[in-house]
């Protein structure tokens, strides 16, 4: 990624934090564009991403199998705090140096994965709960490159669905959110009306 990971995370984080703050308790059981996740499940997953990728920035072991419930008292405030810690962790120049000792890829790609989850799941949660979502254009532009790199492996692992056709017209396919969403297997017009 040509722009520093921490700068991109700092641009993306407040937009997703705003969406999370806008989720009411009575929306936690709504469906999301991630068919296996209700809003509460996706929030817990995103919490786990934000926390685990702090450790990955410091090249420490993380545990993905555990699925703690992060939605206790004050969860919206805690999400903002943990997201701030994520940005700080990736601000250390050593976070993006070399290869990840935990995954066979450069640390820059690991940071990009955190950025991708924060951005795309921000959109997932926004549309699931009827909120607007406008990611930072510089973030979307950088994520196109990452999704192109990681796409084949992510599809084999079931992390991304098969890409869908991008709706037309798209103003600029290199920066358009709809194009990014379709490359991760999402339908930008979710939910589809019958």
Q: Whole-prediction pTM value?
A: 0.88
Is residue 185 within 8 A of residue 164, CB to CB? The reply is: yes
Name the nearest CA neighbour of 71 among 48, 90, 88, 99: 48
Largest CA distance in the chain: 50
Determine the pLDDT at residue 183: 84
pLDDT score at 173? 52
Q: What is the pLDDT of residue 159?
A: 60
- The tens digit of pLDDT for each residue in 21-78 reads 999 999 999 999 998 899 999 999 999 999 999 999 999 988 888 889 999 999 999 9
**pLDDT at res. 94:** 93
For residue 10, the model assigns a pLDDT of: 97
List alpha helices for 22-168, DSSP H.
39-57, 75-91, 107-128, 137-156
Rounded Cα–Cα distance for residues 190 and 187 (Å): 5
Across the range 145-170, mean pLDDT stands at 66
84-110 confidence digits (pLDDT tens): 999 999 999 999 999 988 778 889 989
User: Alpha carbon of 58 to those of 9, 85, 86: distances in Å?
Assistant: 16, 12, 11
Residue with the bigger pLDDT between 193 and 49: it is 49
Least reliable range by pLDDT among 24-38, 70-84, 109-123, 177-191: 177-191
The CA distances from residue 18 to 21, 76, 94, 98, 145, in Å, are 5, 9, 29, 33, 26
Cα–Cα distance measured from residue 165 to residue 115, given in angstroms and rounded to the nearest whole number: 23
Peptide bond into 100 cis (omega under 30): no
Residue 194 banded pLDDT, cuts 50, 70, 90: very low
**If you average pLDDT over residues 133-156, what whole number do you get?**
81
d(CA 82, CA 52): 10
pLDDT computed for residue 61 by the predictor: 85
């Amino acid at each position: 990624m040509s722009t520093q990971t921490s700068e991109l995370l700092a641009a993306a984080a407040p937009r997703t934090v705003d969406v999370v703050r806008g989720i009411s308790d009575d929306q936690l059981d709504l469906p999301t564009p991630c068919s296996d996740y209700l809003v509460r499940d996706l929030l817990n997953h995103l919490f786990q991403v934000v926390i685990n990728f702090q450790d990955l920035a410091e090249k420490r072991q993380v545990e993905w199998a555990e699925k703690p419930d992060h939605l206790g008292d004050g969860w919206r405030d805690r999400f903002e705090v943990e997201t701030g810690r994520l940005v700080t962790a990736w601000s250390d120049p050593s976070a993006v140096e070399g290869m990840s000792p935990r995954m066979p890829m450069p640390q820059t790609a690991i940071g990009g994965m955190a950025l991708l989850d924060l951005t795309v799941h921000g959109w997932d949660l926004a549309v699931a709960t009827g909120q607007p979502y406008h990611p930072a254009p510089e973030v979307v532009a950088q994520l196109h490159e990452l999704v192109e790199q990681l796409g084949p492996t992510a599809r084999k692992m079931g992390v991304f669905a098969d890409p869908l056709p991008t709706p037309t017209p798209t103003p600029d396919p290199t920066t358009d959110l709809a194009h990014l969403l379709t490359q991760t297997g999402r339908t930008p017009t979710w939910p589809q009306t019958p």
